[in-house]
Amino acid sequence: MNITRRRGAIAFFITLGVVLTGLTITLNITWIVQHKERASYLVVGIILFAILITGVVLNTVFLIREIRRNERQDSFLNAVTHELKTPIASIRLYLETLQRREIPEAQRKQFYAIMHSDSDRLIATVEQVLKAGELGQRQRQQNRTLIELEPLLADCIAITLQRHHLPADAIRLEPTPGAVRLHVQGIAEDLRTAILNVLENAIKYSPDGVHITTSLAITRYTWVSLRITDTGVGLEANQFKRIFARFYRVPGRNQNKIKGTGLGLFLVRTIARQHGGQVTASSPGPNQGTTITMRLPLANPSGAPASTLYTGIGT
């Protein structure tokens, strides 16, 4: 739904609320005045009054939902505009500087590196928006293959370390219990996107230094849990589910200074669900870090039920 239609819906619900409220008051007064001595009519009036009140309450709920959706979409558009304009303006500035005057070779290389970083940021934003549209329109999963999770997770960690110029110990991969090789059926590129988005989010919300721990473990014998824990700003309990909503960004905390479109964790949830799994968030509280856990159904490379292969290892 575009912005014009959303605003039209909000106007409709406001008008409907005013009409229902006026009708409620009018009918209530009329019934009391005209039928105050006739109990049966009074009962009917009370019932109608209750129905109208219910309508007003439901209308208010829908109105609040539309307002929140409108606010999230406005926030998304502002974030995307910022994420697109900022790197473009930066690249243009450095190109104009290179054109207008002679630049020492060392500084020239520095300019090239900055422009390359800005172009990567631009590409990442565009790809994230396109991915959200693609996943939303996809009717069924295709090209599912057997995927070993530990090499995929290790590859995502290496990409993230290189992208953000972080030391090797900034993101740690804990050994898998039992040294087993854990597999799932799915689309490798989608799972890569989900893992990278969680890692990116952990870095963005770790202003005092990046210390991330990742792990894989079997739960309930037929599920694999992929956990990514940071030591960043943490979450309030009422945000554990909200952060996976489309366009949602955690309010406050210098939101305007933190890059993002509000689509990253929404994509993670969508991908997890399309692979038959789920994703959850947990945190001890503000400034105590966050753990994102993605649970996916285990797959057995031999084709036998996963529970027969991993019995005795899971928890």
Per-residue model confidence as pLDDT tens digits over 251-294 = 765 555 667 677 889 889 999 999 999 999 999 988 899 999 99
- Mean pLDDT on 199-222: 90
When pLDDT is cut at 50, 70 and 90, the band that residue 1 belongs to is: very low
Residue 184 CA: distances (Å) to CA of 61, 80, 138, 189, 282:
40, 33, 20, 13, 24
Mark 252-261 as b/e (b = at least 16 C-beta within 10 Å).
eeeeeeeebb
Q: Which is nearest to 135 in space by CA: 274, 282, 302, 232?
A: 274
Residue of 266, 157, 163 whose CA lies nearest to 216: 157
Crossing angle (nearest 10°) for helices 105-137 and 188-204: 120
Confidence of residue 106 (pLDDT cuts 50, 70, 90): confident
Q: What is the pLDDT of residue 149?
A: 94
pLDDT digits (tens, 9 = 90+) for 50-96: 777 777 777 777 777 777 777 666 666 666 666 677 778 888 888 88
The whole-number average pLDDT for the span 217-233 is: 91
Q: What mean pLDDT is reported for the chain?
A: 79
Residues 261/125, Cβ–Cβ less than 8 Å: yes
Res. 227: pLDDT tops 70: yes
- Tell me what the mean pLDDT of segment 21-44 comes to: 63
**pTM (2 decimals)?**
0.66
How many residues does this entry show for the chain?
315
Does residue 202 carry a pLDDT above 80?
Answer: yes
Identify which of 249, 268, 271 has the alpha carbon closest to the alpha carbon of residue 259.
Answer: 249
